Amino acid sequence: MLRWICKVFFVLTYPPNNSNLALVKENTMTLIKWKQRAAQVKDYENLVLSGYTPTDIDFIYDIKGKKYVIGELKAVGAPMPEGQRRMLQYLAQNLVAAGCDVCVMVAEHNTRADEFIDVGHAVIVKCTTVKHGNTYTDRYIGMEVIDACNDFLEIGAAD
């Protein structure tokens, strides 16, 4: 059941015919498949269920079902809703219980609403990582998202 629920949120998975998984900064405009649709406001007014409203995840990398990078972006100083925090926590806990390595990060950006957010260069302000059974809570704080992702996924590390 968890596997199916997670697939709803997956934005990017490992490249099927490419052994090089390096996350590189590319022209972000080319990575957005439906720019006009991405800008569309979603109305959840009819989905308030017993007072609860939906939440979302800004990005998830699923690396062969063994490693997950989960990221949330916030404007500088913006609070995270309690329900969203719990959802990220429980998702990570379930992935770890399933034997996966997980990195959950919150990164901040300082852009106007009409600007594209350069996610790779957003700065991490909160992060919990579970790798090989070891938990770290401050490993990537202050780093840019791209650098933390490359480190967590051991991209460029000797085999």
Query: Tens of pLDDT along 60-81?
Result: 999 999 999 999 999 999 999 9
Position 52 scores a pLDDT of 87
pTM, full prediction: 0.75
| pLDDT in the model for residue 1 | 27
Q: How deeply is 9 buried, as exposed, middle or buried, from its count of CB atoms within 10 A (0-12, 13-18, 19+)?
A: middle
Which segments in the chain show pLDDT lower than 70?
1-32, 156-159
SS3 (DSSP) at 76: coil
Q: Domain spans of the chain?
A: 1-13+57-159
- At residue 23, the pLDDT reads 43
Provide the angle, in degrees to the nearest 10, between the axes of the packed helices 2-9 and 82-97: 130
Angle in degrees, CA 35, 142, 144, rounded to 5? 35
The DSSP 8-state label assigned to residue 144 in this structure reads B
Q: What is the pLDDT of residue 30?
A: 53
Report the candidate in 43, 60, 64 with the shortest Cα–Cα distance to residue 103.
Answer: 60
